[in-house]
């Protein structure tokens, strides 16, 4: 038998995919998996199980035999609830019939909008350190990712002046994710207004990934989609994973102007078809009755945040008080170690997992991400061990 | 702050003042003072453990008893309810709407002990018309705590 490898063409994998590195989180995950008895602050999802009433709604829909496809855009009743929720909480009105699409997690919505609007060579600006998908998604859609660094001195908020400096005639879109994974940073209303003015001035689209928006602990501000001139150029991305602890349901949505939703719908209908109906039913229940559970989880995150920030600063790892999400991003540079070295040694010597800041972009060097979506006991145990580690240096 | 302290203690009465303080971003002394005040003013009436009694060696039986009562001209149901409350084997007493008046919970070491309490103490109180006794067979949830909890499901140790 002929060795199949010998007849393989050398260029089986597309060039633009070859250039995309695997997620740095994935590498670190493999490392952590090899160590037993790890206390982890590396988890980017709620430690709560999905609230029972939401799980129960999913079970009930299955009992009733709801196991079919839905409309490509998603169940109309869910879209109506979504548009109502967005109107009440974010101050933007969208039509459920043609300005809202239900997707398989916000991740799919992000992929759809990138593929729907980017022509090869278009530049898309995003801020770093940031969630691992943005840069890769832009590249995979044949766009050119352009990073704007954010800094600890600014609380890791995006500086509108820095943003404007990156704009060229090829710039098509800006990606915003505030509250931010991994920094917990938020934007002030003034910053959002400045960014909106820049978007209007240069005729740019804006993706606003609001997945952590409910988890804003202080001074929550309006969505950029609600600012003057922005509704028609903003794609509002949101989902249920973080606020309602529904990561495994893989359910999210996009709201935006009809032409963009329509373009996204085309890709969605030929690739994903629709989100799982069970997840859609669960999501509907979350919007109808999940708010008290969500508020309870949010209060618990707020209290854990207070504890972990206090401990980090006591230990000697300077750490700002994040206003949103469930991450702290302490500075470890003063130990003399690089992020990867710090995280690896901490894992090997104290069995505590944190994620190196560099997994979220080169300017994350000198920081690590610690999630406080872990139980209070784990947070206390982990920070005690980090203290031992620092003292041992 | 008081409201949140109460909520935390109702979930875990053994939570140290230091932890409550760190959670709420105040000093431990402030928390200790607030708890003291809640105790003194009788807002907090006590602290108890929620026990999975199946894991204890001693025999215990518990019964929920529906009691019909003739209300008094002055004081309504209070006289009988307060009188029942004084028995140490009675752990809960509620005035309820519906087909009966008082819903009480009684603990004993065996069926006989509880039966004896019902026939000789409870039924003979002036104003008690009738009783229906339900012995508890299995406890699933108490004081907001699920007794036989779900199995722990392990998440990925690192995720984006």
Distance from CA of B138 to the nearest CA of A (A): 22
Rg of chain B, C-alpha, whole Å = 21
pLDDT at residue number A6: 62
Minimal Cβ distance to A44: which of B19, B25, B160: B160
Give me the residue label for tokens 């920081």.
Answer: A367
Low-confidence ranges of chain B (pLDDT < 50): none
- Cβ separation of B160 and A131 shorter than 8 Å? yes
Between B21 and A27, whose confidence is greater?
Answer: B21
Using alpha carbons, list the distances in angstroms from residue B57 to A23, A310, B49, B60, B106. 54, 44, 17, 9, 19
Interface with chain A: mutation pick from B1, B8, B146, B158, highest number of A CBs within 10 Å: B158
Residue A134: CA atoms inside 13 Å, Cβ hemisphere, count?
A: 28
pLDDT at residue number A391: 96
A343 touching chain B per CB within 8 A? no
pLDDT at residue number A94: 98
Contact between residue B87 and residue B125 where contact means Cβ atoms under 8 Å apart? no
Query: ω before A179 within 30° of 0 (cis)?
Result: yes
Using alpha carbons, list the distances in angstroms from residue A258 to A71, A98, A100, A262. 17, 6, 8, 6
Write down the mean pLDDT value for chain B. Answer: 91
pLDDT at residue number A22: 85
Distance from CA of A102 to the nearest CA of B (A): 22
pLDDT at residue number A97: 98
Task: Tell which phi-psi region holds residue A153, choosing left (phi > 0), alpha (psi between -120 and 50) or beta.
Answer: alpha
Tokens of B128: 């008690």
CB neighbours of B127 closer than 8 A, spacing ≥ 6?
A: B69, B70, B71, B72, B79, B80
Q: Distance between CA B73 and CA A226 in Å, rounded?
A: 64
- Cβ separation of B158 and A304 shorter than 8 Å? no
- Cβ separation of B155 and A43 shorter than 8 Å? yes
Distance from CA of B157 to the nearest CA of A (A): 6
- Cβ separation of A307 and B19 shorter than 8 Å? yes
| Residue of B59, B121, B44 whose CA lies nearest to B89 | B121
Closest-approach residue (CA) in chain B for A377: B19
A303 touching chain B per CB within 8 A? yes
Minimal Cβ distance to A23: which of B24, B157, B160: B160
Give me the residue label for tokens 């490509």.
Answer: A72
B144 touching chain A per CB within 8 A? no
| Residue of A345, A348, A342 whose CA lies nearest to A330 | A342
- Partners of A181 on chain B (C-beta within 8 Å) are 160
Give me the residue label for tokens 């929550």.
Answer: A220
Q: Tens of pLDDT along A310-342?
A: 999 999 999 999 999 999 999 999 999 999 999
- Cβ separation of B159 and A303 shorter than 8 Å? no
- Cβ separation of B159 and A310 shorter than 8 Å? no
Q: Distance between CA A117 and CA A137 in Å, rounded?
A: 12
Fold of B60-137: Alpha-Beta Plaits (3.30.70)
pLDDT at residue number A133: 96
Report whether CATH 3.90.1150.10 matches the domain A14-49+292-392: yes
- Partners of A40 on chain B (C-beta within 8 Å) are 157-158
A382 touching chain B per CB within 8 A? no
Q: Is A271 helix (H, G, I), strand (E, B) or coil?
A: helix
Domain boundaries, chain A: 14-49+292-392, 54-289
pLDDT at residue number A248: 96
- Partners of A375 on chain B (C-beta within 8 Å) are none
Q: Tens of pLDDT along A166-202?
A: 999 999 999 999 999 999 999 999 999 999 999 999 9
Minimal Cβ distance to A306: which of B25, B158, B160: B25
Using alpha carbons, list the distances in angstroms from residue A104 to A75, A100, A240, A280, A331. 13, 13, 11, 10, 35
- Partners of A307 on chain B (C-beta within 8 Å) are 19, 22-23
**The CATH number, out of the four listed (3.40.50.740, 3.10.20.30, 3.40.50.720, 3.40.640.10), of the domain defined by the range A54-289:** 3.40.640.10
Distance from CA of B98 to the nearest CA of A (A): 28
Residue A48: CA atoms inside 13 Å, Cβ hemisphere, count?
A: 21
- Neighbour tally for B38: CB within 10 Å: 16
| Residue of B49, B21, B19, B47 whose CA lies nearest to B34 | B21
Q: Tens of pLDDT along A211-225?
A: 999 999 998 889 999
Distance from CA of B145 to the nearest CA of A (A): 14
Given pLDDT bands bounded at 50, 70 and 90, which one contains residue A1? low
| Residue of A95, A69, A98 whose CA lies nearest to A265 | A98
Residues 37-96 of B with CB under 8 A from A: none
pLDDT at residue number A4: 57
Interface with chain B: mutation pick from A23, A27, A29, highest number of B CBs within 10 Å: A29
B19 touching chain A per CB within 8 A? yes
Q: Tens of pLDDT along A132-171?
A: 999 999 999 999 999 999 999 999 999 999 999 999 999 9
Q: Percent of chain A at pLDDT above 90?
A: 91
Between A309 and A219, whose confidence is greater?
Answer: A309
- Chains A and B form CB pairs within 8 A to the count of 54
Q: Distance between CA A360 and CA A366 in Å, rounded?
A: 12
- Partners of A48 on chain B (C-beta within 8 Å) are none
- Partners of B156 on chain A (C-beta within 8 Å) are 29, 43
Q: Distance between CA A373 and CA A352 in Å, rounded?
A: 15
Q: Percent of chain A at pLDDT above 70?
A: 98
Contact between residue A368 and residue A356 where contact means Cβ atoms under 8 Å apart? yes
Minimal Cβ distance to A303: which of B24, B156, B158: B24
Q: Give φ, ψ of B108 to 5 degrees.
A: -155, 175
Residue B126 carries which DSSP code?
T
**pLDDT above 70 for A208:** yes
């Amino acid at each position: 038998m002929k060795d199949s490898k010998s007849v393989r063409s050398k260029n089986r994998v597309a060039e633009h995919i070859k250039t995309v590195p695997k997620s740095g989180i994935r590498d670190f995950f493999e490392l952590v998996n090899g160590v037993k008895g790890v206390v982890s602050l590396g988890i980017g999802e709620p430690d709560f199980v999905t609230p029972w009433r939401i799980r129960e709604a999913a079970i009930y829909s299955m009992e009733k035999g709801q196991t079919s496809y839905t409309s490509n855009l998603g169940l109309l009743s869910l879209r109506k609830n979504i548009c109502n929720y967005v109107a009440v909480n974010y101050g933007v009105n969208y039509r459920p019939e043609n300005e809202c699409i239900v997707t398989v997690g916000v991740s799919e919505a992000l992929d759809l909008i990138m593929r729907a609007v980017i022509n090869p060579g278009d530049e898309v600006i995003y801020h770093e350190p940031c969630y691992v998908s943005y840069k890769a998604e832009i590249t995979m859609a044949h766009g050119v990712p352009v990073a704007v660094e954010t800094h600890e001195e600014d609380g890791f908020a995006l500086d509108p002046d820095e943003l404007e400096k990156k704009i060229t005639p090829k710039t098509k879109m800006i990606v915003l994710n505030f509250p931010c994974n991994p920094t917990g940073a938020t934007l002030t209303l003034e910053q959002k207004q400045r960014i909106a003015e820049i978007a209007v001035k240069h005729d740019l689209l804006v993706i606003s990934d609001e997945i952590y928006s409910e988890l804003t602990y202080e001074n929550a501000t309006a969505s950029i989609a609600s600012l003057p001139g922005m509704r028609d150029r903003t794609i509002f991305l949101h989902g249920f994973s973080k606020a309602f602890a529904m990561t495994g349901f893989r359910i999210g949505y996009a709201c935006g102007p009809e032409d963009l939703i329509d373009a996204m719908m085309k890709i969605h209908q030929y690739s994903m078809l629709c989100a799982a109906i069970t997840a859609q039913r669960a999501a509907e229940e979350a919007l109808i009755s999940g708010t008290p559970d969500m508020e309870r989880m949010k209060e618990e995150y707020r209290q854990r945040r207070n504890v972990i920030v206090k401990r980090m600063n006591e230990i000697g790892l300077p750490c700002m008080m994040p206003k949103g999400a469930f991450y702290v991003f302490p500075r470890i540079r003063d130990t003399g170690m690089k992020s990867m070295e710090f995280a690896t040694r901490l894992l090997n010597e104290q069995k505590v997992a944190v994620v190196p800041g560099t997994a979220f972009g080169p300017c994350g060097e000198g920081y690590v991400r610690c999630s406080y979506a872990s139980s209070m006991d784990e947070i206390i145990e982990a920070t005690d061990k980090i203290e031992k580690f620092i003292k041992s240096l | 702050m008081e409201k949140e302290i109460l909520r935390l203690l109702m979930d875990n009465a053994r939570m140290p003042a230091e932890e409550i303080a760190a959670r709420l971003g105040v000093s431990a002394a402030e928390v200790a003072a607030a708890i003291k005040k809640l105790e003194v003013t009788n807002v907090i009436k006590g602290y108890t453990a929620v026990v999975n009694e199946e894991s204890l060696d001693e025999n215990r039986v518990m019964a929920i008893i529906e009691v019909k009562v003739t209300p008094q001209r002055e004081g309504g149901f209070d006289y009988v309810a307060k009188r029942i409350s004084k028995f140490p084997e009675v752990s809960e007493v509620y005035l309820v709407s519906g087909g009966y008046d008082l819903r009480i919970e009684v603990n004993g070491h065996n069926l006989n002990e509880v039966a004896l309490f019902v026939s000789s103490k409870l039924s003979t109180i002036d104003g008690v018309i009738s009783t229906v006794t339900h012995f508890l067979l299995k406890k699933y949830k108490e004081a907001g705590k699920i007794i036989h909890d779900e199995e722990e499901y392990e998440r990925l140790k690192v995720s984006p």
